[in-house]
Amino acid sequence: MKLLVILLLFHTTFLMINGQISSITNTHHETYIVHVQKPKNTKPLRSTDLLSWYMSFLPTKTLASGEARIVYAYQTAITGFAARLTSAEVKAMEMKEGFIHATKDRMLYLHTTHINDYLGLNQGTCLQKDTNLGKGLIIGMLDTGVLPNHPSFNDSGLPHPPTKWKGHCDFKPSTCNNKLIGTASGIAPNCHLAIYKVCHSRVCGSSDVLAGIDQAMADGVDVISLSFGGGAVPFYNDAVAIGALAAVEKGIIVTSSAGNSGPTKGTIENDSPWLITVGASTMDRMIRARVKLGNGEELPGESAYHPSGFTSGFLPIIYPGRHGGSRAKACSDGSLSRINVKGMVVLCHNSGENHTVEKGIVVQRAGGVAMILINEEDQDMTTRAAAHVLPAAHVSYSDGRRILAYALSKTNPTATIVFDGTLYGISPAPSVASFSSRGPSSVNEGVLKPDIIAPGVNILAAWPSPVGPLSLESPVNSTITSMAFNIVSGTSLSSPVIAGVATLLKTTHPNWSPAAIKSAIMTTADTLDRDGLPISDLYSMGAGHINLAKANDPGLVYDIIKDDYIPYLCGLGYTDKQVSAVARRIIECASIDPINAEELNYPSVTVALGSKAKKTITRLVTNVGESESLYTVQIKKPEGVEVSVYPKKLGFSEMNQTLSFSLYFSSGDVGAMKGDVSEGYLRWVSNKHIVRSPILVTFT
C-alpha cells in the first residue's frame, strides 16, 4: 500500500526513492532515519545533489531482496534520509564525515457540528466575520487519508487555493477541488485541506510521518495537525518532534494529540514544547439512551443509534460475566456461544479486546436484543455515543454498578432502553475525557503537558463507510450512502479542533509566531466548567479548555523565537550530535548558556523545589492588546510554597512592547510532601484582559 506523499515522486521538493512503506523490515535490515550535515556546496542544491550526498553514506552492497536502500530522501524538514540498514552498517556510517545521528524507525499509533455552537462559533459571530472562517489558509492533515468524494469536502463557495500552494492532488482530477487540495461544518470551514496519508490501519511509521511533514512544508501549508503517537522518547530519537520543530521554525503551527492512555498519569505523548499538545474534553451534548430498570430506577446512557419502534416493555436482563468468565463479561468474540441470551438485554463491560460496536455485534449474533455497556472504574463518567448495530446504552461506572447490583440481586431482573434524542446543556461540561493521556512526561519532564483541552468525545466526523445496522449488510468499502458520518471519540479529534482554532487566529494575526498563537490559546483558556466548578487538575487539562473568542484578543503573549529552543535542548544534557540532530544544524553546547525547562519562556510555569529551596524564574510578555495598558499581578500560591512577583505592575506604552517580570519561589521543609505536586496560578489583569498562567510545583 503506497502513501499519498510517496506518490509525489517528481515533486520539486520531495524526493522518494522507493514506493513501499518505510516500516518494512526483514531479518537483518531495518529502516533507520539518518541525520547528516548539509553538503559543502555554495551553489543552490538540487534534489540530485542531495541524493548523491545521501548515497555516499550507504554501503555499496545491494540488498538480497533487490529493494532500494533509501526509502526517503528528505529535503525540507531535515537534511537526511531513511534507509534500510543493519546495526553494523549504521555503526560504520557513524565514522563518515558529515554523519550526525541515526535512529530506528518506530511505529506510532492513531489516537483515535455542535463543536461550533459549544465554542461560540456560530455563523454570523464577530469572530467568524473577522477571521473569514480561515479563508486563504491551508491545514495539512497527517493521518490515514480521506475518501475524496465525501460530502464534507464539498467546495461550494470556496476560492482557488492561494498562490503559495506548491503541492498537487494525487486523487483523480474529478475528485480534487478547492476544499480538498493535495468537514457538518468545521472550525475553519473556508480553509483549504491538504491530506497526507502517512498511516495504514492504525499504524504509522515515523519515517513516513517525517516524509509527510517534509512534503507539507514544501507545499506551503500554514498549520499541521498530527493525530498519533508512540510514547515519549528523547527528542533526538523522535522524528515527529524533529520534523515539527522544523515546521515551527518556518512559521507553521503544529498541533498534536495528547494520546488515549488516560487516566493514568505519566502517559502523555507528543510532549515537545514547540508542539501544541491537545487533550480531549466532553461537551454539554448528550445523545441519550436512558436505562429503565424493573425496580423503577432510571439511569442515563448514550448511543448514536436510536431505533424507531423499539419495545417500551421490559425485557429480561442477563449478565454473562456472572458465570462465563472475563471474556464473557466483556462480550468478547465467541464468548456468548454457550450462554442463552436470546430475547434479553445483555450487560457487557467496556473492556477486553473488542470495541463497543463489536460487542453489540457479538450480542446480536448470540440472539440478544439489546445491550447495556458498563464502564470500568478508570473510565469513570466518560461514555460514548457509538453507532451501535442494536439498541444499546453506554453508562458510567457508578451507574453501571447500580445496574449490576440490581441484576445480581433479583431472581428475574428486567430493563428497557428509552431513546430521548439529542440533549444540550448537560453537566458537568466540559470535563476531561477519561481516556485522555495525562502528564507529566515520562521522559521530557519540566514543561506542563497537555497544553490545552478541546472537544474530543462523541464528535460528528466524516466516515468512509456505512455505520450502525446498515454496516452489517454492506461491504466495508461500499460507496458512500446517507450514513456518511459517524460519532467518534479520541484526542485525535481534539487536535484538529485546535488546528482549526489556530487557523482562525493566524487569519486575524498573520504576524504572530506559532509560540504566540499557542500562548494566546493557553492564557485565555477556561478553568471552570459551565457550573462554575474546577474542570480538573493541571496534568489532565493543562492550561484549561479552549476559549476561542478570548484567544483572539489575549492582551499579552509569551513568545518564543526559534533559537530559544537550542539552549533548552543543551540544558537537557544531550550530546552535541544529539542536539544537532534535533536542531538540524551543527550545535556546540559548550558555546551556549544552557537553560532548563523552567527557564523557557512558556505560558505555563513549572518548578521543582527541594526542602528550604529558593528559585527565581523570569518571563517575558509582549503587548498585543491596547497600545497603552496597565496590568496588575494576581497570584494564587501553590500550597507549601511562598511566591512573589516583581514588578507587581506592568505598564505598556505601545503595541508589541516586551517587558519582563520575575517569580520568586521559596519552600520550607518538604518532608512528607516529597514527590507531591502543588498547583496555583499567576494572572496579569488589566481593565480588559486577564492573562492566566498555571503554576505547578513539584517537591523533590
Strands 315-318, 298-299: pairing kind? unpaired
User: Helices (DSSP H) in 410-537: which residue ranges?
Assistant: 491-508, 514-523
Q: Mind listing the pLDDT tens digit for each residue in 239-260? A: 999 999 999 999 999 999 999 9
Q: How confident is the model at residue 16 (pLDDT cuts 50, 70, 90)?
A: very low
Beta-sheet strands, E only, within 223-366: 223-226, 228-229, 253-257, 276-281, 286-293, 298-299, 315-318, 345-349
Q: Which of 19-23, 446-450, 600-604 is least confident?
A: 19-23
Q: What is the pLDDT of residue 178?
A: 54
Residue among 363, 426, 361 at smallest CA distance from 396: 426
Helix extents (H) in 483-547: 491-508, 514-523, 538-541
Q: What is the pLDDT of residues 395-430, one digit of tens each?
A: 999 999 999 999 999 999 999 999 999 999 999 999
Q: How confident is the model at residue 201, as a pLDDT?
A: 73
Does the pLDDT of residue 366 top 90, yes or no?
yes
Q: Integer distance in angstroms from the first to the last C-alpha of the chain?
A: 50
Residue 18 has pLDDT above 50, yes or no: no
d(CA 468, CA 18): 40
Q: What tens digit of pLDDT does each residue of 57-86 get?
A: 999 888 888 888 999 999 999 999 999 999
Q: What is the pLDDT of residues 78-125, one digit of tens each?
A: 999 999 999 999 999 999 999 999 999 999 988 864 444 555 555 455
pLDDT for res 618: 97
Rounded to whole angstroms, how far apart are CA atoms 107 and 229?
Answer: 8
Grade residue 8 by pLDDT with cuts at 50, 70 and 90. very low
Which pLDDT band, with edges at 50, 70 and 90, does 6 fall under? very low
By 3-state DSSP, what share of the chain in percent is helix, strand and coil, each rounded to 5? Answer: 25, 25, 50
Task: Kindly tell me if the per-residue pLDDT of 56 is higher than 90.
Answer: yes
Q: State how far the Cα of 218 lies from the Cα of 208, in Å rounded to an integer.
A: 15
The predicted-structure confidence for 446-499, as pLDDT tens digits, reads as follows 899 999 999 999 887 666 666 666 544 433 333 333 446 778 888 988 999 999
